[in-house]
Amino acid sequence: MVISGQRPARRRRLAAGLLAFGFLAASSMSGSPAIAEPPPVADIAAPVEIGGGRSLYLECHGSGRPTVILESGYHDSSDLWTISDVQPPVAEEPVLPALARTNRVCAYDRPGTLRYTMDQGSITNRSTPVPMPRTAADVVADLHALLTAAEVPGPYILTAHSLGGLFARLYAQTHPDEVAGLVLVDTFSPEVPAIFGTQWPAYRDLLSSTGTQGDPAAERIDLEASIDQLEQAPPLPAVPVAVLSKTEPFGGLPATMPAGLTGEDIEQLWPQVQAGVVQIAPQTPQIMATGSDHYIQVHQPDLVVAATRLVITRAAAPR
């Protein structure tokens, strides 16, 4: 649960169910035999072996390319793409099933991430635990192995939340031929240490500790090493990018903050972080999620869906 380390103020109710959509058989033309469409792609909701005695939980629904890969934020499992907590007139359908109406969509659990079931968060038992801390390169290697093992077809649109944006960017820079676009949902950026300056160590500690209750199995990311990996990687490929940014304060900050850091400090600096994200590619739209806190995908899932479809459309445009 990345940038603020916040957890949703209350556990969101799980979506009524994820919808899978197949193809309809083509109707026959007069005097011509019917031509069958390809069979629907099977849904996935199970651990997938990625080698080395490890497996990662993967959930995929829908059909159609490009495939959308949903990357969660720090400490968060894939649950937050399948739930929503909104009030009309915002569309209530969560991000994953909404996008699955038109495209293949997949989300997965990184090891050590928190599930949001009932009223209690718990570390996922759906993916094999690994030693912590890890780096962004480890996450990218896992995701690549997972998509390969599960034969998830590319190209991919990477829709990522919070620290997941760092992972998505490194994936695109590491595997440029596989990525067709990026949607960055209130994401972390490599400029964060410079923006926070002397407050960076306190902010780093806040991010790494929030929501984990000191459990050694909980996800911990070496942020400095991960930022270095992104900066040393090849340039971002020329793909369309869209950015969504919150307007409301981070929720769930601890009552006792690290010394030298306040919630007001974070709020004042966060717009600079988002401005840096917008600059990563030309003509990147920034969509302000008015009325939403950091968890835009939960509070305004239709905005995330619309931004993802915008990037899909731009990725299909002739170049």
Pick from 43, 46, 40, 9: nearest CA to 24: 40
What pLDDT, on the 0 to 100 scale, is given for residue 317? 87
What is the amino acid identity at position 158? L
269: enclosing H helix or E strand: helix 263-278
Q: How far is CA 100 from the centre of its chain?
A: 15
Mean per-residue pLDDT over the chain, rounded: 87
Token pair 């991960």 is at which residue? 226
Instruction: Quickly state the pLDDT bin for 13 (edges 50, 70, 90).
Output: very low
pLDDT > 90? residue 38: no
Sign of dihedral through CA atoms 192, 195, 197, 199? negative
What pLDDT, on the 0 to 100 scale, is given for residue 292? 95
CA-CA distance, 295 to 241, in Å (whole number)?
A: 19
What are the tens digits of pLDDT across the range 168-226? 999 999 999 999 999 999 999 999 999 999 999 999 999 987 666 678 899 999 999 99
In this prediction, residues 7-34 reach a mean pLDDT of: 33
What pLDDT, on the 0 to 100 scale, is given for residue 210? 62
In this prediction, residues 265-278 reach a mean pLDDT of: 98
Domains of the chain are: 44-316 (3.40.50.1820)
Residue pair 171/179 in contact by the 8 Å Cβ criterion: yes
Instruction: Quickly state the pLDDT bin for 242 (edges 50, 70, 90).
Output: very high
Phi/psi of residue 134, each to 5°? -125, 180
CA-CA distance, 163 to 147, in Å (whole number)?
A: 20
What are the tens digits of pLDDT across the range 287-310? 999 999 999 999 999 999 999 999
Q: What is the pTM of this model?
A: 0.87
Residue-wise DSSP of 177-205: GGEEEEEEES---TTHHHHHGGGHHHHHH
Instruction: Quickly state the pLDDT bin for 90 (edges 50, 70, 90).
Output: confident
Contacts of 191 by beta carbon, 8 Å cutoff, 6+ apart? 272, 273, 276
In this prediction, residues 223-236 reach a mean pLDDT of: 98
Q: Pick the residue with more confidence: 140 or 84?
A: 140
Q: Pick the residue with more confidence: 251 or 99?
A: 99
What pLDDT, on the 0 to 100 scale, is given for residue 212? 62
SS3 state at 35: coil
Contacts of 176 by beta carbon, 8 Å cutoff, 6+ apart? 234, 237
- Across 160-169, 180-189, 256-265, least confident range: 256-265
